[in-house]
Amino acid sequence: MALSASGMADGQTSVSTGGRVVGVVTASGPNAETIKAAHVLVQMWRADAITSAVRDSACNAWLADKTAWLQATEELESPSGMSLTGTHAGQDVEILHSLYALRRDTVRSGDDGTYTFADVPPGAYTVVADTYAGDKFLQWNADVGVLPKFTTRADLGASSLAENQYCPVAGEDSAAAKIYEPKDLDQPIKPIGPPDAASNDFPVVRNGALEIDFVVNENGIPDLQTVTIKSSTMPFSVADARNLVAKIRFTSPTVHGRPVKVRSGFVIRSIIQSHSH
């Protein structure tokens, strides 16, 4: 059998199992109008311990010296040739190099603020939109799970926007931050489009029992930062749990017709059976 340069046999075509992540980047204007953020950098990272550690380092560096951080970002965009060895800016350049090396992909939002990441391998990711405007760093953050051949929407709006660099979003108002219980919902949320439990989508779980809790956001997407393991009879890390939860979508939770966040989870016994608490 002859192989082409790509390693595929002649006559065969590659079948992608990747998913897509689409969304729009917006902010609130001075008169509470919605502004579409055009041509901002949108970046994607794997949501894992290594990336989280480097993001934390970037956050701490920005908080420690914002002037040095700005100099470091400008140095990366337009190298000056100056030696920054031993300076805060030089240290920040190294942190940014480490962070950028971990990026899976980058795109620019369009004129209408929309962005698309195509053919993304299934798993847990963090999507970040980033710009510097009005002498301020502006950054949007969202965690997202990608399913095979499935389009996931991850809009980056005012609730995920902060004037910082790679730091957790803070300052949500109490209404937006409230997490409801399943009994409070208009109707129970249900899993939609889950992978086949008997397939290799869940290679880690085969025997034993596992109970995972997490929060589902207004769009029916699990918040990967809230994933916790309540009980387990098998070796299973939080990273494993996040990768598992990232494969699942739910119908949108609502209270009196308003989209809300809700506490949810599932129990696994040998063969996966997902259900809301």
For residue 223, the domain's CATH number is 3.30.2420
Q: Which residues pair with 165 in a beta bridge?
A: none
For 173-207, how does the pLDDT look when each residue is reduced to its tens digit (9 = 90+)? 444 567 888 888 989 988 876 555 455 544 445 55
Specify the number of domains making up the chain: 2
Whole-number Å distance between alpha carbons of 44 and 60: 20
On whether both 90 and 220 belong to a single domain, the answer is no
User: The pTM is what?
Assistant: 0.62
Residue 33 domain boundaries: 19-171
- Would you tell me how many other CB atoms lie within 10 Å of the CB of residue 19? 22
Whole-number Å distance between alpha carbons of 241 and 52: 16
- In the block, residue with structure tokens 């809301």: 276
Instruction: Give the three-class secondary structure for 38.
Output: coil
Q: Residue 2: its pLDDT value, please? A: 38
On whether both 133 and 249 belong to a single domain, the answer is no
Regions of the chain short of the pLDDT cut 50:
1-13, 171-175, 197, 201-204, 271-276
Whole-number Å distance between alpha carbons of 10 and 12: 6
- Of 105, 139, 171, the last residue of a domain is 171
Whole-number Å distance between alpha carbons of 248 and 63: 35
- Of 124, 156, 171, the last residue of a domain is 171
Q: Name the helix (H) or strand (E) containing 64.
A: helix 49-64
